Structure formats: structure tokens, C-alpha cells
Amino acid sequence: MIHRNLPIPGLMLIEPKEFHDDRGFFTERYNQESFAKEDFNEKFVQDNFSRSLPGVLRGLHYQFDQPQGKLVSCSRGRIFDVAVDLRHTEPTFGKYFGVELSGDKTLALWIPAGFAHGFCVLGNEPADVFYKINSPYNAKGEFALRWDDSRFAITWPLRNPKLSAKDAAAPEFESYLASPLAKKVWWK
């Protein structure tokens, strides 16, 4: 596996080796020993799977009570995956990184705790997104930020996405900045 650090500290793009033949291909999406060789020793507690239809955008979500790190991959279709840095102690606070993940390539994105996460479906087929998390889901500790907040200036590759009611009503980043959470180290 190739582990590439990205411009925002903590984010990592993982490229597993693929073994192709005339039947298709095989890959290991996660191998604890291989990850440990890269000083990646997260203990995952849950695997999540979602299927999203074309035009769907999910996010930007984060969990401040029992913060989560996520190892995100796409096993079918294509997504534009986004992580926004909410760690006020970092010079990249409020910056985002986006990457295309797809079922045709086995790339995965490691998003540590302290980031908001979202993705949108690209193309005309549903997308299956699989992610391993290192902390259990906690509905009372979950929050969202507005997906199209001008402060982030995310270049989403779709217009008029299909959103959940929660995502459509998510507050602007300014409300996060005004909250005590923005000044607290909650992501450790």
C-alpha cells in the first residue's frame, strides 16, 4: 500500500495494490500490518456502508462528542469526497481537501477526528461508500455545517444536489466560529 500525506496535515490518501487478471481485480482495502508499517495504528470500532443515488450530497458532518476518524472508500460508482479542517490549532483551519473516489480505483481517504466530512455522487449511477470509523456513532454529539458555505469555497462538481432536511438546514461556518466548540480541543 502507498500512503500519501496531503497538503492538510493528518489527511492521508491510501492507494492499495491491485492485482488484475482476465476476471477483474483483487485488493486489500485495509490491512492492519501494512498500515502499522506506515505508523498508522488506528483501532476501528465500526464499519459503515451507504448507498447514495445520483445527485445526492451528504455533509458536511462531524462528531464533537466521541470524535471520529474515518477511512473512506467507494466500492461502486464515483464520489467527490471532501474533508474540512475544523482544528483551530492548525494553520489549515477552515480549509478543505477534495478527491474523487470510485469503484474503479481502490483509493481511500483517511480523515482524522477534527474534520467535517461530506461527499457527492458523480455520474449517473448510485455510489456505494464504505468507511471504517475509530469511534462509535453518537447522535447527540453529531453536527453539520452548510455544504455550500462561501467561507469554505468548495468546488462541488454538481449543481442543485439532493440533500437531507438536516443538511439543507445546516448552519454556516460563522455559527461554528461563534460557539465554544471552535475554541475547544474536542478532536483528540
Which residues are known catalytic residues? 61, 131
- How far apart CA 58 and CA 76 sit, in angstroms, is 16
Say if CB 59 and CB 111 are below 8 A apart. Answer: no
Q: Which of 8, 176, 151 minimizes the C-alpha distance to 90? A: 8
Torsion on CA atoms 47, 96, 102, 66, rounded to nearest 10: 0
Q: 161 has which bridge partners? A: none
Q: CA of 183: how far to CAs of 20, 94, 109, 173, 187, in Å?
A: 48, 13, 26, 13, 11
